Chains A and B, each alone.
Chain A
Amino acid sequence: MMTKSGIGLALSLAGVMVLMFAFALISSCNLFNTTTSPTKQEVMTYEDVGVALATAQNILHSYELQGIIKGDDLIRAKLLYSQARSAYIEAGDNIVLMIQTADANQQVLQRRLYAKALAKAAQLAIQLTALFKRQ
């Protein structure tokens, strides 16, 4: 059974994670076939996902300070967030390599690695939300 604070937390995080899922999807698909270059779109998406992650951390940290998250749940939450952040950093490193290389094959590889890392970050963030569903 969720507590009232747990419901609030799940609502806040669910909103952030829905955005992350949508951003990961849009990032990878060029759904709108806009005239903006794929790389610029990816960088914009990357920035947006960063805002979502930072917001999630802000929410979680405030709940930590209020004692809403504690014990094993806190440890698990920090671990999941840390993994999501690492995947996000890795995605950024891959897109930088993609921009820097002149080799077309290498660009394709780096773009794929970037997309996979960003998808991993989104998956981990959703698992983080699921963790609080149990409260």
Chain B
Amino acid sequence: MGPEQIVALVSALVQLSPLIPMIVDWGTDQIAADEGLSDAQKTELIGRIRSAQASVPEWM
């Protein structure tokens, strides 16, 4: 991939980024109310989320 293609790719991403909220809104509407998760499953998922949050470092 040459410089021109990289610039074109980045430009395309910038052009597409305003569409993200619209796509997300549409997609969220497609998801029904949550299935019943057990308490153990909820605890596991919450632990994974907290772990993911901790894995993204600050850049000071």
Contacts and interface: CB of A to CB of B under 8 A. Distances in A.
A39 B34 contact: yes
Interface of B: 1, 3, 6-7, 9-11, 13-14, 16-18, 20-21, 23-28, 30-35, 37, 42, 45-46, 48-50, 52-53, 55-60
Summarize A's interface: helix, strand, loop or mixed. Answer: helix
Interface of A: 2, 7, 10-11, 14, 17-18, 21, 24-25, 27-30, 37-40, 43, 46-47, 50-51, 53-54, 57, 60-61, 78, 81-82, 85, 88-89, 92, 95-96, 98-100, 104, 107-108, 111-112, 115-116, 118-120, 122-123, 126-127, 129-130, 133
Contacts, number: 145
Contact of A111 (B28, B35, B42, B50): B28
Summarize B's interface: helix, strand, loop or mixed. Answer: helix
